[in-house]
Amino acid sequence: MLDTHARKYVEPVISRAASLCIRLGLSANQVTWLGFLIGLTSGLWIYFDHVYWAALFLWISGFLDAVDGSMARLENKSTAWGTVLDITFDRVVELSVVIGLAARYPHAQFMLLLVTATIVISMTVFLTVGAVTEKQGAKSFYYQAGLGERTEGFIMLTVMMLLPNGLLWSSGVFMGIMLVTIGQRLAEARRILKEV
């Protein structure tokens, strides 16, 4: 939801960062890799009980994830490979956080497993609709909006990191957000594909 409706407010900052990266001679894929490597450490920071570093690195990773796409569009160099890297690395960073939380807080492992399952199902619908529809958006594929997009995921992951005593309830809230998103995406897919 926020990725779709609030992006316009942060777009000037993202565009300036993208222009700076281009001037520094970086490619969009290099920024994708940089964001991935930074975000991947979040799970380790959580495991070693440095949750503020984990949150900071997660959000830097997310910012760079927005910058790389902006760079590709500014240079008119969006590629299918860049899209594959972007989507794959996004999920691996999120899994890094969930695995870090599960390793640090074993009592919440079952709830974290359910959160992971809802993320997988939501992304399956998202990617399948993107593959079978002829529609395209600003990105190189059709982007299905929903209640739980990447920013909402980062907010929930951050809450889960910073408030470990409430990890069970925050996991439940995150799972609920993802279930609503799955329903939204399936309903939209049915409309787009005109299935009865």
Domains and CATH numbers, the chain: 2-193 (1.20.120.1760)
The residue with tokens 């969006």 is 78
DSSP assignment, residue 89? H
The pLDDT, as a whole number, for residue 51 is 97
Confidence of residue 189 (pLDDT cuts 50, 70, 90): confident
Mean pLDDT of 33-50: 97
152 and 177 in contact (C-beta within 8 Å)?
Answer: yes
Quickly count: other Cβ atoms within 10 Å of residue 156's Cβ: 20
Mean pLDDT of the region 24-53: 97
CA distances from 74 to 6, 14, 150, 175 (A): 20, 11, 22, 35
Residue, of 77 and 95, whose pLDDT is higher: 95
pLDDT over 70 (residue 110): yes
Could you give phi then psi for residue 102, rounded to 5 degrees?
-65, -35
